[in-house]
A = this chain, B = another copy of it.
Amino acid sequence: MHNYQQRIAIDMDDVMADATGRFVEWIAERHGVVIERHQLRDEVLQTLGVPYAQLRKWLWEDGFFRYMQPMPDSQKVMQELVKKYEVFVVSAAVEFPQSLREKVDWLAEHFPFIDWRYIVLCGHKYMIQADYLIDDHEKNLIHFTGTPIIFTAPHNLHLQGYERVNNWAEIGERFL
C-alpha cells in the first residue's frame, strides 16, 4: 500500500478495452450490418434492425470480452500512470461469470505490468475508496465518493456535470 500516492480506479469496458469496437465487429459478422462506432446507441440500432436488447446477450458469450482491442494509447499511458499513482482496474464483471477469467487473461496479455492485486471484479463500485474513478457509465460515477471522471463513449455524450476525458491522450494530459 502506497499511502503517499493518489489512487485512481479505472474501468475496463469502453475505457481500457474497446467494447464498442467489439459490438461493431460482431454486428458486421453476425448481422451483416456495418455501422460506425458513434451509431452504437439504441435509438440508432433500433432503426438498423439490431436492437441493443438483442446484442446484450453477447455479454454472456465465451470470447466476447477476451478478444477486445485495447483502447488507443491505453497501454502506453497506463504504463506511466502506474508509476505515479496507485491504479486499480475496477470492472463490473460479476454479472457475466464467463467474462471473469477472460478479463484477467486479457489484462495479463495487454497490461502485463498490472499486478493481480490491483484488479477488482465487482458489481457496484461505490464502495471503492479512491481519489478518482474513470468510467463511461453514470451509474458507476454518480455514487462514487472521490472525483468521478467520465470517459467518452457513444452512450454518454449527452451527460453533463462530470469532468470528461475523450481518450487516453487526455488521461495522460490530466494525470501525468
Contacts and interface: CB of A to CB of B under 8 A. Distances in A.
Interface string A106-122: 00000000011111111
Nearest to A127: B129
A145 B126 CA distance: 15
Question: How many chain copies does the complex carry?
Answer: 2
Interface residues of A, number: 30
Nearest to A142: B1
A59 interface: no
A127 B97 CA distance: 23
A123 interface: yes
B95 A126 contact: no
A118 B129 contact: no
A88 interface: yes
A81 interface: no
A35 interface: no
Interface string A1-16: 1000001010000000
Contacts of A88: 127
In the complex, the 9 A-B pairs of residues with the closest C-beta atoms, listed nearest first: A117-B123, A100-B100, A129-B129, A121-B121, A120-B122, A94-B116, A97-B104, A94-B119, A97-B101
